[in-house]
Amino acid sequence: MRSMGDGTAVGSPFPLYGGAVEQPSRHVIPAAAGTPQGPETDKVGYRGPTACAAAGITYRQLDYWARTGLVEPSVRPAYGSGSQRLYSFRDVVVLKIVKRLLDTGVSLQNIRTAVQHLRSRGMEDLPQMTLMSDGATVYECTSPDEVVDLLQGGQGVFGIAVGVVWRDVEAVLSQLHGERVDTGETLVGHNPADELARRRNRAG
């Protein structure tokens, strides 16, 4: 278990300052229904409005976080007026996590450190993570025992299971439009409401 931010953990957590500590041995939390895989993250990007819908944030928040470097689009940044930012699947997951951390009162400084840490981890690692916070420090837990230890120490106030966020984002994005990075082709999501409208149009 490691902490992200200013706080120093007691006992088993390892203090983490911008990811500058040695990686502890990795313990995997079994996923509820297998490890979520996500879309082909290197081939599909999502425009700002789609990223907002999946992350549950406003476009104003998205724009501010991009301009301040909190969460920048890793597929394509905005190049002046009229250009469209393009976010990867991982970006959208991070956006949703940032929203949850902000909602629970975590400081922006600690959120920045947490974002840097999330970006430093491989895609296969993210669904196994649980982020815990006491409002001052963000901790990464990679085993159920670490979660219990943190809660018993009276430090953990809330937790974010990254795998659950991952699946939530995946479910929403599957119903929205994406864009192929290599060709620019629009990928139409499967939205049951859209299908119903198409059937009604054909019937009319």
Q: What's the pTM value of the predicted model, to 2 decimals?
A: 0.72
Per-position pLDDT tens, the chain of length 204: 555 554 433 333 333 333 332 333 333 323 333 334 555 556 889 999 999 999 999 999 999 999 999 999 999 887 766 668 999 999 999 999 999 999 988 888 889 988 988 888 888 888 888 888 877 788 888 778 887 877 777 665 688 999 999 999 999 999 998 888 877 788 876 544 444 444 444 555
* Dist CA 169 CA 50 (whole Å): 11
The architecture in CATH of the region 2-21+42-203 reads: Orthogonal Bundle (1.10)
97, 58 in Cβ contact below 8 A? no
